[in-house]
Amino acid sequence: MSIINVFEGAKDSTNAMALATTVVKNAALELIALELESNTQEILDANKLDLAQAVANSVSKSLQDRLLLDEKRIQALADAVRLIGQLPDPIGDSVRGMKLPNGLQVQQVRVPFGVIGCIYEARPNVTVDIAALAIKSGNAAVLRGGSAAEKTNQVLVSIIQSGLVGAGLPKHAISSVDAYGREGAVELMKARGYVDVLIPRGSAGLIKTVVTESTVPVIETGDGVVHIFVDESADLDQAVPIILNSKIQRPSVCNALETLLVHEAVATQLLPGLALELEAQGVQIHACPKTQVIVPSSTPATEEDWFTEYSSLELAIRVVKDLDEALAHIAKYSTNHTESILTEDIHNAERFLAEVDSAAVMVNASTRFTDGGEFGFGAEVGISTQKLHARGPMGLPELTSTKWLVRGNGQIRN
């Protein structure tokens, strides 16, 4: 197949996908979940080859972690596919409606986009997540998963297509352009007329490239320079596990903590013990001058550190004099992904929620909760940091557009 044939196959699938009943779409999802479970070893074998190539190419540890699939992660993917099957079908939902004075019945309803494109790096879980969300929302999808996960994604796409066919849906409703290498990504960005919306997931460089070079409309997902501010009223016994979870549980992902801001009133009480726990877990601390005095083992932070998404076991720490200084720091350096305040002061909590302009703003919670699965979406297409159409974790409703249905009885306009 030529790459145009791939796009045509996806486009030709859109009518059948848009008209598919919830029962049929859910049947396809259940078949995909079963195929994932029954073909676990084939997936693992392909993933081992991709991982070996990643090691040979000196790919970063954080990307290797994103690339890795094991039995637990594959089962989690199957579980997520089933959960998406259990969620309400957004297609046909009425957004609003009214009866006009002339008797016309006007209704705005949710409809699929048509063909969704997605470009991402070394994340085979995204292949399954996006396919499942696209199927349930009545869309077709064309995927470019990158060379790092090419063998794994090839198996996953085959499994997904088998589930589609088993449910009587078009095989090419989910397809990949990985076989075309970088040309596949370039052509996907230029596939206006075939692809209705393009979603990039990955590094800041990849996202910037897609946003600036695509002729297809883009929903921009962002990198995560994620902050936690420890207020002077914070429960420090609660704060430590929240900070550790935010940074350490999975440092390679976009909702992991990258900069910790600490009120000067509690810095000497919190930081020595916290630093010991962080360093015991292998975390390198980049510290402002005040933090360095308290944590002598830390590395001096540069201006660049405040802008950096480490995606690894590194953390920038700054001591600030009050909430105002914390808010100013976040406003300057945040990528508007996720920020959290740890506080027992209701006024400060509400100020933080109101004034921080990010996709997800939290009080007394780990930043790791900014996630489609954790929010109950089953999975996510990505976490949007833009302000148009969708913001934050994108689930089923975010993969729909709307159209107006007007029912009349002979009315004409005067």
CATH class for the region spanning 226-369:
alpha beta
pLDDT digits (tens, 9 = 90+) for 35-47: 999 999 999 999 9
What DSSP line would sit under 298-334, residue for residue? Answer: SEEPPHHHHT----SSEEEEEEESSHHHHHHHHHHH-
Instruction: Please return the burial class of 211, using the count of CB atoms within 10 Å of its CB with bins 0-12, 13-18 and 19+.
Output: middle
Relative to beta strand 314-320, strand 257-263 is parallel
pTM above 0.75? yes
CA 289 – CA 109 distance, rounded (Å):
56
Instruction: Please return the burial class of 234, using the count of CB atoms within 10 Å of its CB with bins 0-12, 13-18 and 19+.
Output: buried
Question: What integer pLDDT is reported at residue 252 of this predicted model?
Answer: 85
Q: Where are the domains of the chain?
A: 3-221+389-407, 226-369
Residue 382 has pLDDT above 90, yes or no: no
Question: What integer pLDDT is reported at residue 154 of this predicted model?
Answer: 97
**What amino acid occupies position 360?**
A
User: Can you point out the beta strands (E) in 231-288?
Assistant: 257-263, 284-287
Across 184-198, average pLDDT: 96
| Residue 378, phi-psi category: left (phi > 0), alpha (psi -120 to 50), beta (remainder) | left
**What amino acid occupies position 59?**
V
Under the banding of pLDDT at 50, 70 and 90, the label for residue 388 is: confident
pLDDT digits (tens, 9 = 90+) for 93-144: 999 999 999 999 999 999 999 999 999 988 899 999 999 999 999 999 999 9
Per the listing, tokens 């001591």 go with 319
Name the residue among 62, 28, 50 with its Cα closest to residue 136: 28
**Is the domain 3-221+389-407 a CATH 3.40.605.10 member?**
yes
Q: How far lies 93's CA from each of 108, 137, 398, 402, in Å?
A: 8, 11, 13, 9
